[in-house]
Amino acid sequence: MSLIIVGTVAFDAIQTPFGSSGKVVGGAASYIGLSASQFVKEQHIISVIGDDFPQSFVDELESRGIQTDGLERRKDEKSFFWEGKYHQDMNSRDTLTTELNVLADFQPRVPQEAQGASFVMLGNLDPSVQLSVLDQLDQKPKLVVLDTMNFWMDIALEPLKQVIKRVDVLTINDEEARQLSGEHSLVKAANKIQTMGPSTVVIKKGEHGALLFQKDQVFFAPALPLEEVLDPTGAGDTFAGGFIGHLARTGDTSFANMKRAVVLGSAMASFACEKFGTERLMKLTKENIDARIQRFVNLVDFDMTFND
């Protein structure tokens, strides 16, 4: 089944205690698309770039079945640019530079070829852009997943609540879940968010894994314990891409299949941390992914039966 993905396609410059990336390709939709392309054959990307953006990356997306009719290219304008610096613990970061450029007045357009998509992934972006995409859809999709962040809660809470009301799954990190719900307990936070619209809530805890909540059901997938985390930028988007990619490939939105989707998303996210930017995601093989999934299975496998 086909998948619409919405989000930034951009440049990042990342500093960590272990090195600097220089200017690399990033953006939520880049990570989501590359990650989902491991699972789903047909995607439509909706985003905007300037004429400074490398055509080679657009070609790479297209070679992976990501159709770019909805990727607006603006002449004489620059792509969105974000620069950030991670703290020593790699769990928090400061934004050094944000240049909106083409994003400043982005009006998304859903191309005709994308209509009828069963799955929609609204990556982190201005909620009014996310809303506009939903408004342009001719048919109600089977599943809409929304990712957002605290930035939009701070400056655009009302439009954000409007989007949240219309989606099936919200993916959000633990601190953002607390901010959005006003509840410290993640169980209570997830319950409260379910009353705001989404029937399913995924709380991403970074190196501490992810929780999947739906009604009274809860599932937990750890993050793989990694020897080295070079750059966590895009890990959450890569998770979301793997999650919706698996659901779109199988067409199955049951809770049991969402659990698989969380494990696959976590496996994909673990790759994203191994190199700066999208580099690691570009070179993944099916064997890499299968081996990583097996590590997840082993990590949590236990058998309580014991004869004594």
**Residues in touch with a copy of itself (CB under 8 A):** 88-90, 184-188, 205, 208-209, 211, 218-222, 225-229, 249-250, 252, 256-257, 259-260, 263, 293, 297, 299-304, 306, 308
CB of 128 to a copy of itself, least distance (A): 33
| Chain centroid, CA 50 distance in Å | 22
Distance (Å, rounded) from C-alpha 217 to C-alpha 284?
33
The one-letter amino acid code at 167 reads V
Residue-wise burial string across 251-276, b where 16 or more C-beta atoms lie within 10 A, e elsewhere:
eebeeeebbbbbbbbbbbbbbbbebb
The smaller minimum CB distance to a copy of itself, of residues 17 and 54, is found at 17
Distance (Å, rounded) from C-alpha 218 to C-alpha 249?
23
The smaller minimum CB distance to a copy of itself, of residues 88 and 97, is found at 88
Beta strands in 38-129 (DSSP E): 43-50, 66-67, 71-74, 81-86, 93-99, 119-122
Phi then psi for residue 191, to 5 deg, are -65, -45
CB of 42 to a copy of itself, least distance (A): 16
CA angle 256/224/275 to nearest 5° reads: 120
Beta-strand relationship, 143-147 and 10-16: unpaired
CB of 225 to a copy of itself, least distance (A): 5
CB of 269 to a copy of itself, least distance (A): 15
CB of 181 to a copy of itself, least distance (A): 13
CB of 2 to a copy of itself, least distance (A): 16
The smaller minimum CB distance to a copy of itself, of residues 145 and 273, is found at 273
The smaller minimum CB distance to a copy of itself, of residues 68 and 200, is found at 200
Whether 151 contacts 127, CB under 8 Å? no
The smaller minimum CB distance to a copy of itself, of residues 80 and 296, is found at 296
The smaller minimum CB distance to a copy of itself, of residues 70 and 206, is found at 206
